[in-house]
Amino acid sequence: MVSLADKIVLAYSGGLDTSVSIKWLQDKFMADVITVTVDVGQREDFGEIGKRAKEIGAIKHYLIDAKEEFVMNYVSPSIKANALYEGKYPLVSALSRPLIASKLVEVAKKEEALAVAHGCTGKGNDQVRFEVTIKSLSPKMKVIAPVREWGLSRDQEIDYAKEQGIKIEPKKSIFSIDQNLWGRSIESGPLEDPEIEPPLEAFEWVKPLEKAPEKAVYVNIGFEGGVPVSVDNEKKGAIEIISYLNKVAGKHGVGIIDHMEDRLVGIKSREVYECPAALCLIEAHKDLEKLVLNRHELFFKDIVDANWTWLAYSGLWLDPLRKDLEAFINSTQERVEGSVKIKLYKGNYRVVGRSSPYSLYDPNLATYSILSEFDQASAQGFIELWGLPTRVAHSMLSKLKKGRE
């Protein structure tokens, strides 16, 4: 148990859950609370968040700018791994959680705190991501989940806030929002009914198709070592590229994901996301890989990518297997260099051109012209040997079937 005068470090978003958690932790454990907000590009008023934490009772507040670290160490590897959980979700929140958890541990060690706390419920994936990472980095660190342990509804939390004199900020939306540079997650409200189309007010980054430009636009994305380094032939940093594509692709109605997701805890959940840059970059990267990697590499990389994505989604970021898989992934990325042209129009994003100094495409072999270097006469022998196992098996099974009739 946490005892008198101990310090607890709380991951603080400024919302209702984490705000009432400050008072709850103080009351239950008679401990000093230190709040931590990690900036991963969520576009919040961080000054107001810090002020609010101290007004409620936090003895100290940390604001940590981790945008560069987030993109370099979490988003970039996910691009290399073509990470789309269940073929849809670009791991928006999943990628940020181990980073935030690591910052909580850093602050806790610096402040000599005996516990860290987070605002996750018992139904979601984030509780797993936070706690597995925290316990891996600091096995003796106590982890507290006030919302999960308390078990209060939102109305009960509001009543508690009023009792404690906590100023309740008017809810900006009927939806529960989590966002960072890589995307925007939208939950709750009418979205809990999987039959209902998401209302337009759910979206901020992606224009409705009816309001998207009538003229298509093309973007050229340059890659080196499997990561984006330029857009429209202009060198830019990764954060700039992601921000630019979120704006441009979103303007053209690209980036909405609406799917039934299997959460780690076993719940099937309707999830809605806005991820314009993520979808474009992963599509472009995967297409470039098809140009420069051979059939065997691509086949095996699909398996590796799926396992990397599963580890990241499931809160196992620090599992040794992730680094083992990345050793293979990074080896393949040495040749993933070149440019990919994407056409954006009315919600559609499509690769329409690609080039690379490491291209395996040989027009002299692929052309249907009579001048092709491919010796078509060799195809007959290839077909004979390629189909041999199938012909032998089919012949045997046909005889067996006739014998039984």
Catalytic site positions: 17, 97, 126, 176
Where does residue 69 rank: exposed (0-12), middle (13-18), buried (19+ CB within 10 A)? middle
Identity at 17, one-letter amino acid code? D
Judge residue 383's burial from the number of C-beta atoms within 10 Å of its C-beta, 0-12 exposed, 13-18 middle, 19 or more buried.
Answer: exposed
Say what angle helices 126-137 and 92-110 make with each other, to 10 degrees: 40
Specify the long-range contacts of residues 366-374, CB closer than 8 Å, at least 24 apart.
none
Distance set, CA 285 to CA 85, 153, 227, 278 (Å): 16, 43, 8, 10
Q: Answer yes or no: are the C-beta atoms of 253 and 263 closer than 8 Å.
A: no
Cα separations in angstroms, 327 against 57, 91, 209, 295, 334: 46, 20, 41, 19, 12
Tokens standing for residue 366: 């692929």
Alpha-carbon dihedral 392, 393, 399, 402, rounded to 10 degrees: -150
What is the C-alpha separation between 337 and 357, in angstroms, rounded?
Answer: 7
Residues in the chain, overall count: 405
Residue 315 and residue 128 in contact, taking contact as beta carbons nearer than 8 Å: yes
